[in-house]
Structure 1
């Protein structure tokens, strides 16, 4: 099933305990970094690896580290973003629940590289049992001398804390997370200044995802050059994928970037194909915020090339015919799925989770939810489809943080690729109203009904 970096020891009995983790090579990267590398050398290794942020944006991690202000003399902080709230994404939870010391080791090594003496793991409020697992792992690390004063006799000090949020999706945005960590309402900040200059308590701060930080120990132990050999092009290394929906083998998978979508979807080593062998209708490859892809664009791009599990390949064609790898929330839909209902469900989420700070997002997400509900329940009007298109267009790019874009993109893509299904809801309302919930007829039949105006 390809190379394993993060999940190599996932099935080792007792791996969540310090003793077993240490016996399997744990904390070697801390030893190597502190005893034989300068902080800048660690940063250079991460830059050489090509590791990109695994939380969704895909920004180069080492480059992000190099932006941190080292000249001001202020304390620096590393904050791990464990506020995993993207619908369809659950891979960070798996890492923290089953291999907590991997994240702790990554936090120590990364904090050393950045010159941080006080770091935090900010975890979503719904993950209380994982919160307790991390707290126990941190206590074990303190007891073993990996945290606290004078680590390994080097003179380097580091304190690490876990902070539990209140369950707000908006706090997955780095500046809203920082606001929440400071004890304030989780509203995103206007940038600049960026956190690397003025973040937590106005100090230079780096915010990284759980998966990103957990990859650092392997990079330090094996060098960035070796990590860069894995994957394809600028999509280096491995990626955790949260797979769900109408598939035979849902779960968390670690894949080498560059694996074909076809192999990932249909190989018995991975997802095993469609549940009940029903036809594939659509796919969301990177969590609820990325554009949905119809069946004809999942395995091949618009030019007929193979679609790969990589940042570049999934985005080929832009949003007209592509999508994004995002956070790796891989949601698969068969032919019984109602795209209108699915889009309405996503819109409900984004309306509920909007902080309300920006008018386009505060008002627009609410209107999209209402209009989609009207269409889904059989009370839609012909002009509602164009109204939805207009609303999402006025949200995208007009908000402080990316939540507005995350709310707009699914709606735009659903209309772009499945417009006939929206028209079906509007033109044949009785077929919608007479069912407790709408289960779509085969999409080709929907196309025919809409084109011919037949029932």
Structure 2
């Protein structure tokens, strides 16, 4: 396996406790940063590393930090986005549950770099047991002098609090998270102004993902240049992948970016191939909101080049033949999977989680769910497929926040790559036999039946 940064000590007994974490080099980045580096020097190291936000967008972290307003004199805040609600993604939960002090160390070092004196971890409402783990770890950090007043005798103060979210997917969007943290309904804000100028309580604020913050200690300890040597091109460093679905070895993996999808999927070191050795039908590489890829585009791109686990390679060809690395929610589907049912399930989720603020999302997600349900249960009409395409097209790019895009992209990709399966549901409803409406017939047979009837 490749180099481990975040999960290097994951299997050390007792690593979630302060004593064991400290014995394994914990909090060295805080000592180095506070005693021998200026805040701007820490920011420069993160810039040099090429670290990109690990929550899904992939925006350069150091650049995001450099946008924070330092001239207004207002208090600044760092907020950790631990509202991990993307279906298929569970890597942040793993980090917080098993190595909580790594996140806390990252919060302290990052807060110093940004000039913050009050920072927050906003955690998903359903993660109550993880919330308690973080609370315990924060108390240990206070007791050891890493948080509070005059940290390491430098005159710098930092308070850190954990806030339990409202159990809403929309609060994973940074401005909705800020609204919720202020005690209001989690509705996304119109941007600009961006949080770096006017965020939490109208103060300059940076919102970063758990994984993004947890890797900062390694960068500070080992330099950004060393981090940049890992990975490939602009996809530097390592990435946590949450693997689930019809693979032999589901779980959380730390990979070096640039690993081939083929090796990650089929190597015994990683997923070990397909469960029960059934054929691979499709794959979602970055969580439910990114486009699904059919089998023939998973290991090779449209031009025949090897598909790599990187931001650039997975998006090669655009949405016509590519997808996105996203949050790293790697969902594997075998040949028994019904793409129509899977897409309907995602649409139900996004309809339920829409905040309702934007008409295209509020109305469009509901209609997509209804039409997909009609097709899935054998009551669809031929024109429903084009209707779905039209609805998703009118949602994408027309909402305040990316939830609209997240709802539209899976529907568009499913129709683009598996249109025959939608037509199969419409034309052969009697073949959908079992109670779950799974299409057990091979996709090639589905294509043949549809093509034969069309002729």
Q: Which runs of 5+ in 1 are unaligned?
A: none
Runs of 4+ with >6 A deviation:
none
Cα deviation for residue 121 of structure 1 reads: 0.1
Does the aligned pair in 1 maintain the 2:260–2:306 contact within 8 Å? yes
Does the aligned pair in 2 maintain the 1:378–1:433 contact within 8 Å? no
Aligned to 1:263: 263
Does the aligned pair in 1 maintain the 2:89–2:242 contact within 8 Å? yes
Q: Over residues 387-443 of structure 1, what are the superposed CA-to-partner deviations in whole Å (9 max), with x where a residue is unaligned?
A: 000000000000000000000000000000000000000001122266452233100
SS at match of 1:2: coil
Cα separation, 2, equivalents of 1:436 and 1:143: 54
Does the aligned pair in 2 maintain the 1:76–1:114 contact within 8 Å? yes
Does the aligned pair in 2 maintain the 1:46–1:61 contact within 8 Å? yes
Q: Which runs of 5+ in 2 are unaligned?
A: none
Cα separation, 2, equivalents of 1:167 and 1:16: 25
Cα separation, 2, equivalents of 1:119 and 1:203: 12
Cα separation, 2, equivalents of 1:149 and 1:400: 40
Does the aligned pair in 1 maintain the 2:102–2:214 contact within 8 Å? yes
Cα separation, 2, equivalents of 1:413 and 1:362: 21
Does the aligned pair in 1 maintain the 2:340–2:372 contact within 8 Å? yes
Cα separation, 2, equivalents of 1:180 and 1:144: 31
Cα separation, 2, equivalents of 1:306 and 1:328: 19
Does the aligned pair in 1 maintain the 2:282–2:295 contact within 8 Å? yes
Cα deviation for residue 333 of structure 1 reads: 0.1
Q: Over residues 172-225 of structure 1, what are the superposed CA-to-partner deviations in whole Å (9 max), with x where a residue is unaligned?
A: 000000000000000000000000000000000000000000000000000000
SS at match of 1:41: helix
Does the aligned pair in 2 maintain the 1:377–1:433 contact within 8 Å? no
Q: Over residues 356-405 of structure 1, what are the superposed CA-to-partner deviations in whole Å (9 max), with x where a residue is unaligned?
A: 00000000000000000000000000000000000000000000000000
Does the aligned pair in 2 maintain the 1:75–1:116 contact within 8 Å? yes
Does the aligned pair in 1 maintain the 2:338–2:437 contact within 8 Å? no
Cα deviation for residue 166 of structure 1 reads: 1.5
SS at match of 1:433: coil
Cα separation, 2, equivalents of 1:370 and 1:430: 20
Task: Tell me the matched-pair count.
Answer: 455
Q: Over residues 10-52 of structure 1, what are the superposed CA-to-partner deviations in whole Å (9 max), with x where a residue is unaligned?
A: 0000000000000000000000000000000000000000000
Does the aligned pair in 2 maintain the 1:42–1:113 contact within 8 Å? yes
Aligned to 1:31: 31
Cα separation, 2, equivalents of 1:431 and 1:17: 56
Does the aligned pair in 1 maintain the 2:241–2:254 contact within 8 Å? yes
1:204 and 2:204 correspond: yes
Aligned to 1:447: 447
